[in-house]
Structure 1
Amino acid sequence: MGKVWTLQDAKNRFSAVVEAAQRGEPQHVTKRGVDAVVVLSAEEYERLLHRTPKPKKTFIEHILSAPKLPEGMEDVFDDRDQYPSEYRDIDLD
């Protein structure tokens, strides 16, 4: 998470805050005990700024992207032989 600084401490030791952020450690600054800002390196800020979100999938694409069972394992969940059932005719008239 990086170090947490009070606003006064961050002001007094700003160069230490900047140096730690440049090392890749986000520096959290609180104001009156509440998170106020996070100091990041310029490199990390640019990476976050230009990150492109993944396009949203449709429900069908989401279902189709589910992991597939390894070859030969397709019938692992087929328990029809274990619980045989008989079909019966139903008259719908």
Structure 2
Amino acid sequence: MAVWQVQEAKTRLSEVIEEANSKGPQFITRHGSERAVILSITEYRSLTAHKPNLREYLLSGPKVDSFEVPRDRDTGRKVNL
């Protein structure tokens, strides 16, 4: 795992990209905290390839074709008016 400061990553962007392709994700920090990650295009595509669209996601849920709600046949209470 390589860590680059923002200024260094700016000045050596080509090297950061090559490192991401050959050695894996490159983390970029600002003031000591991680702010961004540079990935190779193959890693990015593998992460985003299996994401279903909303329709597929909703249709892949549990089937509720025979879903029945038992109802109480109680008519309520008598009210004196």
Q: Which residue of 2 aligns with 1:5?
A: 4
Listed as ranges, the gaps of 5+ residues in structure 1 are 57-93
1:54-84 residue CA offsets vs partner (Å, 9 max, x unmatched)? x89xxxxxxxxxxxxxxxxxxxxxxxxxxxx
Q: How many residues align?
A: 55
1:19-76 residue CA offsets vs partner (Å, 9 max, x unmatched)? 01111411000011110001000110000001359x89xxxxxxxxxxxxxxxxxxxx
Identity of aligned residues (%): 39
Q: Which residue of 2 aligns with 1:63?
A: none
TM-score scaled to structure 2, two decimals? 0.59
SS at the partner of 1:19? helix
Q: Distance in 2 between matches of 1:33 and 1:44?
A: 25
Instruction: Letter of the 2:37 partner, please give it.
Output: V
Q: Which residue of 1 aligns with 2:44?
A: 45
Describe how 1:6-85 pairs up with structure 2 within 5 A. 6-51=5-50
Cα deviation for residue 12 of structure 1 reads 1.0
Structure 1 stretches of 4+ moved >4 Å? none
Contact 1:27 1:40 in 2 (8 A): yes
Listed as ranges, the gaps of 5+ residues in structure 2 are 53-59, 62-81
Q: Distance in 2 between matches of 1:51 and 1:24?
A: 23
TM-score scaled to structure 1, two decimals? 0.52
SS at the partner of 2:50? coil
Larger helix fraction of residues: 2
CA RMSD of aligned residues (A): 2.0
SS at the partner of 1:38? strand
Q: Distance in 2 between matches of 1:16 and 1:51?
A: 29
